Structure 1
Amino acid sequence: MIAQVLSLATDVDDIRIAFNESSLTVLKIVIGTILFGIALDTKVSDFTAALRRPWVITIGVLAQFIALPALTFLLTLLLDVRGSVALGMILVACCPPGNVSNVLTHRAGGDVALSVSMTAVSNLLAIFLMPLNMAFWGGLHPTGEKLLEDIDLSAVDMLVEVGLVIGVPFVLGISIARLWPAVAERAHKVVGPVSFLALGVVIVLGVTKNWDLFLDYISIVLLAVFLHDALALALGWCIGRATRLPDRSVKAMTFEVGIRNAGLGLLLVFSYFDGLGGMALVAAWWGIWDIVAGLALAQWWSSRSSEKKAVTA
């Protein structure tokens, strides 16, 4: 059994996950819609609110775009994962948060205003920082570097893709929220849940089409994704505590750093990495496990808050 797993681990860099052009187009629309939904719930005041809390926002940005990719890089070396798995972990770490982080922050009794502000700022910065981060850390990786050379990844091309997928829906959504706030509020309640449901359907269909490969290779990424997700959540919590943020802000920081838009990562895997096996498996499984772990943590925090209120009463 061990020999079989080792054999599979050796081959994971060579497999490609099937994803046809029409499915890729649907995925782009779904990711764009998710970002559009985030923007509908984003107001210009969220950015001005961020300016009033520059220190906290700066901490969050540094944690997301510098500390998390750097620690992820070290984790890939520690686990000695294959090149494609390492690149998948680095790609996910470079992704911005989605508005799932806002929902989880609310569920946990955290600072939702801070969460929304950080999500808005992070998604805007991700247009430029995500491609640069991926090219930098992926190029440094001893086994991932060779794969990047074979793929001939262009940071500029990825910048354009991320700009279209994030930037255009984001600007459109914020404009609607600014001009027609009542319409944006009603639309957000529909667009957000429907787009995430659509993403789940796309992932499930993709897994179904590649079921045999999924069963053969998923064991390779289970531990890596579990540890990586725990690292991301712990990083957010530790930074919040180390900088002496209030409890509600610590919860927001935990989810803003720990929750990644793995759907965007999955789109880039199929757009620029030809469905590279380890990358696709990491992004797909992260998208599932990240929500499960986040919900569990949010529920635990919510339960603790309820118990404290009961004791106080």
Structure 2
Amino acid sequence: MEQLIDNVHINFDSKSLWVLNMALALVMFGVALEISLEDFKQLLNRPKLVIAGVFSQFVLLPTITFLLVLMAQPLPSMALGMFMVAACPGGNISNFITHLAKGNSALSVTLTAIATLLAIVMTPLNLQFWGSMYEPTAYILREVAISPLEMVKLVALLLGVPLVLGMWVNHLRPQLAKRLAKGFKLGSLAFFVLLIFLALAKNVDIFVEYVIYVFWLVVMHNLVAFLTGFSLAKFLGFSKENVRSITIETGIQNSGLGLLLIFTFFDGLGGMALLTAFWGIWHLVSGLVLGSFWGHWAIEKEEVV
């Protein structure tokens, strides 16, 4: 059974993969339309908050994911999928969920912007480092022999270029950017999700056999991600608003980026793709539930830390 899922590959031809790349780039462009240079200045104004959020995403979460993999011993391709998810920056809907949760929306936007830029280097670096630390996934990495530099280039194209272009439009025409943002994000995200579902449908019979197995892995991993951000923010004594923001930014990951890297560099390896795709569905559910729960609890005005 292990060989079955590890031998499944979700294949895209070059044209289809190009369409997927464009869809994700448009999603990121839509996110960037709501980001300005002022958001980056938050790093200077509140460095402790921003550094904590970035540390939670790019250092703590991958480290704890590695420990979780050691304990759970998932199938190798799924373990590599967990490392991929943990290596990605915060997800595209984290800003909306933070707003729903009555968290610090400004901090959420700032973390999204900075994490997106850092992901150009940190996503390939974390995947290669942690994947190499666990022998079953290290074997896959050796077999695939990916080029970290090529992955850096692709992440830069998928995240960095749309981020810069979106911010440029926002700087020149802020009102136009505001009108375009919602449509771009929703339309391109819906199109991207549709393409992924069509790809998974080709191997639906095999994937159905692993649904329960993947379900508990993703739920456990996602819960650990939320708890990682929450625990760090509480330990550092941040305000409730900021605790909520850092929790959500750590628990909502850009699984769309992870899927594209899997399709491009791992030939759509079944276990990796299934786990990452299911994460993309589940974190919408868990994020909205958490956001709605927190949204019903008013936050008393307190000193922002």
Q: Tell me if both proteins adopt one fold, taking TM over 0.5 as the criterion.
A: yes
Aligned to 2:60: 67
Whether the 8 Å CA contact 2:229–2:248 is kept in 1: the answer is yes
1:168 paired with 2:200, answer no
One-letter code aligned to 1:293: S
Pairwise CA distance, 1:10: 4.4
Task: Write the mapping of 1:223-234 to structure 2, written as runs, cut at 5 A.
Answer: 223-234=216-227
Matched, 1:149 2:142: yes
Cα offset, 1:305, TM superposition: 2.8
Q: Distance in 2 between matches of 1:213 and 1:305?
A: 45
Give the equivalent residue in structure 2 for 1:4. none
Q: Is the 8 A contact 1:111 1:248 kept in 2?
A: yes
Aligned partner of residue 189 in structure 1, secondary structure: helix
Count residues in correspondence: 301
Query: So what's the TM-score if we normalise by structure 1?
Result: 0.93
Q: Which amino acid aligns with 1:257?
A: T
Distance of 1:238 and 1:122 partners within structure 2: 19
Contact 1:27 1:199 in 2 (8 A): yes
Offset, 1:244: 0.7
Matched, 1:128 2:121: yes
Q: Shift in Å at residue 277 of structure 1?
A: 1.2
Match of 1:278 in 2: 271
TM-score (normalizing by structure 2): 0.95
Rounded Cα–Cα distance in structure 2 between residues aligned with 1:98 and 1:230: 15
Gaps of 5+ in 1: 1-7
Shift of 1:17: 2.2
Superposed CA deviations along residues 103-146 of structure 1, whole A, max 9, x for unmatched, are: 00000111101111111111011111111111111111110000
Query: What letter corresponds to residue 104 of structure 1 in structure 2?
Result: I
Percent identity of equivalent pairs: 41
Partner of 1:212: 205
**Aligned match for 2:237, one of 244, 247, 252:** 244
Q: What residue is the counterpart of 1:235 in the other structure?
A: 228
- State the distance in 1 between where 2:219 and 2:14 align: 31
Q: Equivalent residue of 2:11, what SS?
A: coil
User: Which amino acid in structure 2 is aligned with residue 49 of structure 1?
Assistant: Q
Tell me the amino acid that sits aligned with residue 44 of structure 1: L
Partner of 2:15: 22
Aligned residue in 1 for 2:283: 290
| Paired AA for residue 185 in structure 1 | K
CA contact (8 A) 1:269 1:279 kept: yes
**What is the CA RMSD across the aligned residues, in angstroms?**
1.5
| Worse-matched range after superposition: 23-32 or 125-134 | 23-32
Structure 2 residue runs of 5 or longer lacking an equivalent are: none
| Residue type of the alignment partner of 2:10 | I
What code does the residue aligned with 2:215 have? L
* Partners of 1:38 and 1:98 within 8 A in 2: no
